[in-house]
Structure 1
Amino acid sequence: MMAATEQKTVYPRYAVIRLRGIPTTPGDIAATLDLLRLRRKFTMVVVVGSPSVMGMIERVNDWVTWGEIDADTLAEVLRKRGRIVGDKPLTLEYLQKWGWNSFEEVALAYISGEIETLACKKDFKAREGQRPPCIPYLKPFFRLHPPRGGLNSVKLHFSVGGDLGYRGPLINDLIKRML
């Protein structure tokens, strides 16, 4: 049981984008990408940077790029590429039905740690009008376009002029090119 002085650890939020394709993916890497819900090229997930998730990201580091996402970029991703079950677009009216006022409010709540996850689990039950701690029926991944202007190299890491691996806050620039 947590004491009154203890606080819950708020991990940073990371955007992870798969940049390499499917055919040559080794089995263990494919399984980890599947757990991260990165099943296709140019899909993105937003994850909490807990130690277990960071271990998975390190394992697939040669297949993805990742970095800290900011609230403005996340709001734009939700607005333009967010989908709910049935492959319908995520709309402001849908968010308001569940008690959220704007895409920015959801993004800020997620980045600040007020809500733990963007997409609810399949067995989540909530009543309309009552704000849930997530967005019901939101797909847990985002399908992005290939980046405008192209990529440098999907065989080299970002630190040596490529596109793979950790890129820090510069992930936001890549995401904006892919919307």
Structure 2
Amino acid sequence: MIAAVRVRGRTGVKKGIQDTMSMLKLTRINHLIFLHEDATYKGMLIKAKDYITWGEVDVDTVSQIITKRGKLSGNVKVTEEYIKENTDYSSIEELAKAVSAGEASVEDAGIKPVFRLHPPRKGYEATKTSFKEGGSLGNRGDINELVSKMI
């Protein structure tokens, strides 16, 4: 499971890249989405690499994101009771395991696919350089540390 976060804003973005980020549902800074590892999504991530960061996410982080930042339609928080009553899963942790394994998506459970996060504590590194050069953009490999700063 891959988590992608938008790091940079809308100013000066080329039309093609803006369309790609709209298809990924990353329309604003600090929005996060979960993606399956697929050649199509991989190409979209590479095209938008100058504006987003992404990486592998573990089950614990997925569970924290759903619990703390997950919203239902009507801007209602996700609760354990809602998951038990409206899905095939008995808890948020079980749903998180299914999502990270690729067996389900958060949309199947009625949760909005975009998670609005806070800016990271202590801020981003450089927002115009890649992660390999000491910045914040592009493929991180493991995104759990950044996401935990943003929850």
TM-score normalized with structure 2 length: 0.96
Aligned to 1:107: 96
**Among residues 84, 90, 93, which one is paired with 2:81 in the alignment?**
93
**Aligned runs of 1:22-171 on 2, under 5 Å?**
22-98=10-86, 99-115=88-104, 117-119=105-107, 134-136=108-110, 138-169=111-142, 171=143
Alignment coverage as a number of residue pairs: 150
Instruction: List gaps (5 residues or longer) in structure 2.
Output: none
| Inter-partner Cα distance in structure 2 for 1:150 and 1:56 | 26
Find the structure with the greater CA-based Rg.
Answer: 1
Higher strand content, 1 or 2: 2
- Structure 1 residue ranges (4+ consecutive) displaced by more than 2 angstroms after TM superposition: none
Aligned to 1:9: none
**Percent of residue pairs bearing the same amino acid type:** 37
TM-score normalized with structure 1 length: 0.81
Q: Which has the higher contact order (CA 8 A, sep 6+)?
A: 2
1:166 deviation in Å? 0.5
Q: CA RMSD in A?
A: 0.9
| Inter-partner Cα distance in structure 1 for 2:45 and 2:4 | 8
Instruction: List gaps (5 residues or longer) in structure 1.
Output: 1-12, 120-133
